[in-house]
Amino acid sequence: MRLSVIQPDLVWESKSLNLNSIEQLLQPLHGKTDLVVLPEMFNTGFSMNTAELSETQNGDTFFWMSEISRKGNFAICGSYIVREDQKVYNRWVFVGPGEEYYFYNKRHAFSMGEEDKFITQGHSRLVFNYLGFRISPYICYDLRFPVWSRNRNDADLLIYAANWPETRKNVWDILLKARAIENQCFVAGSNRIGVDGNGIRYSGDSVIIDPKGEIIALADQGQVQSISTEIKLEDLIKFRNKFPVLKDADSFSIEI
């Protein structure tokens, strides 16, 4: 599977400008990739102005994703603010060129940024199949909680969509590698650059990591760009068979 990660500079709370600029970044990828990964709240930045910025699941952003997927002949994924049944979610959405879609609601709201006051916590982990890969998505703060991300012999690619501040860059780098190593999975991390409406600076550091924790694609720090690489399921299976760590993993359950 050809995998691409986008690292944009987001304009605060401007859906039209963000979607237009991301679309420009995606044009060179048309017909040349299988899956595009966007960051957290890619259409607005990490804003808690949920009353004005939230939309229905099948709203304008979902329509945009569907059109982009159709035009580019690739799947596209990332998170945005969705309202549903009088609740608001930080929802990661996957849209495929065959009109299939999946979604995951962020489990760990970032309480230090008061996200928990505006966003309803998700309760279900998602794993789905795309082009033979079992994919499990997570959003930003989820990265700090390894039990939630744990591969239960059911995942091959972990995706993290984030607005991860530059001041905690080192943590981002380390934890993404840790999630790859401990789970024997490919890991894709998409992060933004620039400064948001709260004055928080982001350096990007978007990356694709192999199951051994080695970086196989890395975006330039502070630069708007996309990175792409091919990941092979047969390489992952060969590595797991040679070094079968997961067969010795502890069983556990999570209380919701």
Work out the percent of the chain whose per-residue pLDDT is above 70.
100
d(Cα 205, Cα 162) in Å, to the nearest integer?
A: 11
What kind of architecture, by CATH, is found in domain 2-247?
Answer: 4-Layer Sandwich (3.60)
Which among 72, 6, 73 is positioned nearest to 39, based on CA atoms?
Answer: 6
Contacts of 178 (CB under 8 A, 6+ apart): 146, 213
What are the structural domain ranges in the chain? 2-247
Catalytic residue among 77, 106, 115, 177: 106
Residue found under tokens 């700090």: 144
96 near 104, Cβ under 8 Å?
A: no
Task: Give the integer Cα–Cα distance in Å for 217 and 8.
Answer: 16
Look up the pTM and report it: 0.97
Q: Exactly one of 15, 77, 115, 140 is catalytic; which is it? A: 140
User: Going residue by residue through the chain (256 aa), what tens digit of pLDDT does each one get?
Assistant: 999 999 999 999 999 999 999 999 999 999 999 999 999 999 999 999 999 999 999 999 999 999 999 999 999 999 999 999 999 999 999 999 988 999 999 999 999 999 999 999 999 999 999 999 999 999 999 999 999 999 999 999 999 999 999 999 999 999 999 999 999 999 999 999 999 999 999 999 999 999 999 999 999 999 999 999 999 999 999 999 999 999 999 988 887 7
Whether residue 40 lies in the annotated active site: yes
User: Catalytic residue at 140?
Assistant: yes
Catalytic residue, chosen from 15, 40, 177, 185, is: 40
| Residues in contact with 91: Cβ distance below 8 Å, sequence separation at least 6, in sequence order | 57, 79, 80, 81, 82, 103, 104, 105, 106
Half-sphere exposure in the Cβ direction for 25 (13 Å, CA): 24
**What integer pLDDT is reported at residue 99 of this predicted model?**
81
